[in-house]
A = this chain, B = another copy of it.
């Protein structure tokens, strides 16, 4: 087998890193794949690190030690703000206001190339919490939960508004919706979470925080730990939410009955980086 050129190795390594976000790929994998020395691969990785930095593709991290290797965390603060501002512009149109003061954003939530970027942003915020799984409640939270979990390399666990017969034993709780004040039920399949696991709550939208509060109670029933709460959009009102500690990408202000409006803006912390 002919010696593999540097440009070819670099192209192949970038492809593998991009398709396996946040997974540590052992140096040995590359030395065997290219029949190259570890020092050659290290030089390749150094070039990749530099180019990811230069073009703001994200971070390439080298992990030392026995389980050592390299991993890629797609992330760019500067680009994120511009991206979020574009989406805010698309959302802030009167045509999107539905009866009950709700903003139609299902089309955005279900467009893979948009929700993939949202997922990377939320993953970057919570990567240090090292979740074992991402948890969300059906249905509109699924795409953002899946894309956040993809970027973190962990599975999604799904809570349901009713217990389905098709998935075996479930554990259920009741909670009060913060907006409607009605009692709701939420269930999760027993085999889906083990005691002591770390769960990251991800959802599309937060108003009063009732649903997220329900998810927190449900995880406690499983004796699992809640390591963070992230949503795509939260509302300006009510200011007092059931959940205090959360990160949202955008904030929605619909005004009140006397002065209705549609203002969507990136959350403050995004600008602070």
Contact = CB atoms under 8 A, between A and B. Distances in A.
B10 A11 contact: yes
- Prevailing SS type, chain A contact patch: helix
Interface string A93-116: 000001110101011001111011
A122 interface: no
Contact of A47 (B8, B51, B113, B191): B8
Interface stretch (A62-70, A146-154, A209-217): A146-154
Most chain B beta-carbon neighbours within 10 Å: one of A11, A20, A100: A11
A85 interface: no
A57 interface: yes
A191 B95 CA distance: 11
Nearest to A116: B150
Interface in A23-78: 23, 33, 44, 47-48, 50-52, 54-55, 57, 74
Given A104-B191, A110-B146, A138-B138, 20 more contacts: A8-B10, A10-B10, A10-B14, A11-B13, A11-B14, A11-B47, A11-B48, A12-B51, A14-B14, A18-B18, A19-B74, A98-B166, A98-B167, A104-B168, A110-B155, A111-B155, A115-B146, A116-B150, A139-B142, A142-B146
